[in-house]
Amino acid sequence: MIGINKNASQVIAEIVSNKKVGAYHHMVFAVGELAKFAKPGNFVAIAVGGESSSMVLRRAFAIYRAFDRGANGGLLEIVVAPHGAGSTWLTNQSVGFKVDLIAPLGTAFGIPTEPIRALLVGGGYGSAPLFGLSEVLKNRGCRVDMVLGASTAMKIYAPLDGKRSVSSLTITTEDGTTGTTGKVTDVLPGIIETNQIDIIYSCGPMGMLEAINQIAMDLGVVHQCAVEESMACGIGVCMTCVLPIRGEDGEIRMLRSCIDGPVVDGSSVIWNSKRQIPEGTWGAN
Amino acid sequence: MFNFRTSLGQAEFENPIFTASGCAGSGKELAQFFDLTELGAVVTKSIMLKVRSGRATPRMAETPSGMLNSIGLQGPGIDLFLEKDIPWLREQGARIVVSIAGESVEDYAILARKLRAVQGISALEVNISCPNVENRGQVFACQPATARAAIEAVRRNIGGELPIIAKLTPDVTSIVEIAEEVVAAGADALALINTVLGMVIDINTMRPKLAGKTGGLSGPAIRPIAVRAIYQVHEALPNVKILGMGGVASGRDALELILAGASAVSVGTATFGNPTAVIKIKEELQSELIAHGFDSLREAVGYAHRKEVNP
């Protein structure tokens, strides 16, 4: 078991930008020097609703990008989908408002030492952490292809400067409003074979990650994914965000997605285990 | 000089703000945010005899001013806990209250035997009221006879001077009756209250949101229940010390529990929203007590019970 991200700290961070992009909000926070510790895959946990709010828990967001500009200028960017009361409250806050923020949390995407061929797959706002990752991979000499999918064009998050960092970008929408009609998994096998992909990095809804993992297993490609599970604390003390993961010793354990994740090896996850503990899990009774 | 010291049974503590069991793990993660010696004590997550996976997910649902959890006592079991967590906490210099939970009276007896010779523990919290078990009959604190049996098993096996704090549920007709029973069985102090059994139904799937269907409700939503339970028990048993908990998110909330009769206060759900909540609450509580004219914490304990004085 690994511990909490050693660089995590709690800061009061000012909102320096808040812009609507399609169905989402792109938000930028002044976080000082902790920006330099943020790696692609890490997340932030932000308190919502103000002092007397009835919302007692933080909201977790994948870090989209981080800019290390020292103690005064460090920035963290996130992409927020305002679908619940907490995320809606956050997107309604104006520039200059200060929030209580903890970052960086969780594990990061593993970066290969060799210049290999990577495929990045994002569902909806799950594309957010992939652009920072593609920058890092490109700087390591990797070829980076990207596939983004959503139900409709408004829910594809693909900013112009992000697109520049990839060799190819394929978009799928279920309603056909942009790109190929269908799901990301419809186009994956073709891209994996054509571009001789060595590793897949993914972020998005659990159902999508599971489907990607099946393809990765079938085609013998390494798969790292950023999982999501309902989370109360984000710092590893509440034990609500667990998922069953098979360790190197072969034992299945209920691990915390906030500490041992969000980025995990897709082949180690016991998928489709919602609402039941997989048989043989350590301590199952 | 303001006196913040307090005691539970024979155990003395520098200040009255503790973590709540199940809300701080074994302290490792919170140590990233503050020094654990700042706390009155770390109350560790209730540990069982054997390793336990806990319940399936989803395990959590946020509710107005609170949350439901259905963890089901996930943990490594007492042996690994004693091998890894306790030495680490001792190294930090933290005051330790170990919380234990059993599936049977025999479990409590064995857990007590395993703990009695362990160095560096200030007290034992005996959790007989976790709502996240398969069978309501396993909630020992729901019936006087089972509550008594579990506490007696610990009392007989713990030996020495380690104080026993029995953790009770408010989900009973008379919490005073259960409190009297466990005190008669050998509890030195009481932890009030555990979470309250609740349920959320997801209106999209039209099924219970939690995999375990029911969960324990915590957070400010249950604070009035905690204040009521502490007040009733302190009235009936004024000499039995109470570790109060239930939705404390500020110094004024902690003061409310103390005025009702708590000698110390555990902070649980507030830590999930803010890892430094315990430190904030400790500082605010001291300011509140001073602002209300108290020279010590002890003077404020149960102050809401004082006789009316006619002008």
User: Which of A125-139, A153-167, A222-236 is the least confident region?
Assistant: A153-167
d(CA A39, CA A44): 11
Q: Tell me, yes or no, whether B62 lies in a domain.
A: no
A238-259, pLDDT tens digit by residue?
Answer: 999 999 999 999 999 999 999 9
Instruction: Kindly state whether residues A145 and A179 are assigned to the same domain.
Output: yes
**A241 in contact with B at a CB cutoff of 8 Å?**
yes
Contact B271 A275 (CB under 8 A): no
Rg value, chain B, Cα: 18
Q: Tell me, yes or no, whether A251 lies in a domain.
A: no
A21-33, pLDDT tens digit by residue?
Answer: 999 999 999 999 9
Mean pLDDT, residues A250-279: 93
Which of chain B's residues have a Cβ under 8 Å away from the Cβ of A3? 28-29
- Output the pLDDT for position B253: 98
d(CA A87, CA A97): 15
Q: What percent of chain A has pLDDT above 70?
A: 99
- Output the pLDDT for position B311: 60
d(CA A82, CA A22): 11
**Which is it for strands B6-8 and B189-192: parallel, antiparallel or unpaired?**
unpaired
pLDDT at residue A193 is higher than 60: yes
Residue ending a domain, among A52, A72, A105, is: A105
Q: Tell me, yes or no, whether B64 lies in a domain.
A: no
Give me A125's structure tokens. 């706002």
User: Which domain CATH number covers B162?
Assistant: 3.20.20.70
Please check whether residue A203 is in contact with residue A225, taking contact to mean a CB–CB distance below 8 angstroms.
Answer: yes
Q: Tell me, yes or no, whether B152 lies in a domain.
A: yes
DSSP labels for A72-139? Answer: HH-EEEEEE---SHHHHHHHTPPTT-EEEEEEEES------SS--EEEEEEEGGGGHHHHHHHHHHHH
Amino acid at B282: K
Instruction: Kindly state whether residues A123 and A220 are assigned to the same domain.
Output: yes
In B203-253, which ranges are E strands?
207-208, 214-218, 241-244
Q: Chains A, B: CB contacts under 8 A, how many? A: 131
Instruction: Kindly state whether residues A100 and A16 are assigned to the same domain.
Output: yes
pTM for the full model?
A: 0.95
d(CA B109, CA B150): 8
Minimum distance, in Å, between the CA of residue A106 and any CA atom of chain B: 12
Which of chain A's residues have a Cβ under 8 Å away from the Cβ of B55? 277
A30-68, pLDDT tens digit by residue?
Answer: 999 999 999 999 999 999 999 889 999 999 999 999 999
Q: Tell me, yes or no, whether B310 lies in a domain.
A: no
Residue ending a domain, among A183, A208, A226, is: A226
Instruction: Kindly state whether residues A182 and A134 are assigned to the same domain.
Output: yes
Instruction: Kindly state whether residues A55 and A90 are assigned to the same domain.
Output: yes
Instruction: Kindly state whether residues A122 and A185 are assigned to the same domain.
Output: yes
Nearest to B67 among A9, A232, A276 (CB): A232
User: Which domain CATH number covers A74?
Assistant: 2.40.30.10
Contact A56 B65 (CB under 8 A): yes
Q: Tell me, yes or no, whether A21 lies in a domain.
A: yes
Element (H, E) at A140: none
Question: Nearest residue on chain B to A279, judged by CA atoms?
Answer: B53
Which residue segment(s) compose the domain that A51 sits in? Answer: 9-105
Instruction: Kindly state whether residues A83 and A159 are assigned to the same domain.
Output: no
Instruction: Kindly state whether residues A157 and A58 are assigned to the same domain.
Output: no
Mean pLDDT, residues A216-226: 97
A5, B54, B286 from A256: Cα distances, Å: 13, 12, 35
- Output the pLDDT for position B180: 98
B230, B265, B303 from B223: Cα distances, Å: 11, 12, 18
Mean pLDDT, residues A152-179: 91
Read off the DSSP letter of residue B162: P
Q: Tell me, yes or no, whether B133 lies in a domain.
A: yes
How many independent structural domains does chain A possess?
2
- Output the pLDDT for position B131: 84
pLDDT at residue A1 is higher than 60: no
Instruction: Kindly state whether residues A38 and A92 are assigned to the same domain.
Output: yes
The residue assigned the tokens 């290999």 is A116
ipTM of the complex: 0.94
Instruction: Kindly state whether residues A186 and A206 are assigned to the same domain.
Output: yes
Q: Tell me, yes or no, whether A124 lies in a domain.
A: yes
Which residue segment(s) compose the domain that B247 sits in? Answer: 6-54+71-198+220-305
Q: Tell me, yes or no, whether A151 lies in a domain.
A: yes
- Output the pLDDT for position A121: 98
Q: Cα torsion for B142, B148, B153, B157, to the nearest 10°?
A: 120
Instruction: Kindly state whether residues A84 and A145 are assigned to the same domain.
Output: no
- Output the pLDDT for position A159: 84
A65-80, pLDDT tens digit by residue?
Answer: 999 987 788 999 999 9
Instruction: Kindly state whether residues A127 and A87 are assigned to the same domain.
Output: no
Cis peptide before A205 (omega within 30 of 0): no
Which of A51, A233, A253, A281 is best to mutate for the B interface (most B CBs within 10 A)? A233
The average confidence (pLDDT) of chain A is 95
Q: Tell me, yes or no, whether B208 lies in a domain.
A: no
d(CA B69, CA B60): 5
**A270 in contact with B at a CB cutoff of 8 Å?**
no
Q: Tell me, yes or no, whether B209 lies in a domain.
A: no
Residue ending a domain, among A185, A203, A226, is: A226
Read off the DSSP letter of residue B159: -
Q: 10-residue block means of pLDDT along chain B (311 residues)?
A: 95 98 95 98 97 95 97 96 97 97 96 95 96 79 95 93 95 97 98 97 96 96 98 98 98 98 98 97 98 98 90 60
If DSSP codes are grouped into helix, strand and coil, which group holds residue B266? strand
Minimum distance, in Å, between the CA of residue B31 and any CA atom of chain A: 10
Which of chain A's residues have a Cβ under 8 Å away from the Cβ of B249? 56
How many independent structural domains does chain B possess?
1
User: Which domain CATH number covers A195?
Assistant: 3.40.50.80
Q: Tell me, yes or no, whether B33 lies in a domain.
A: yes
Q: Tell me, yes or no, whether A159 lies in a domain.
A: yes
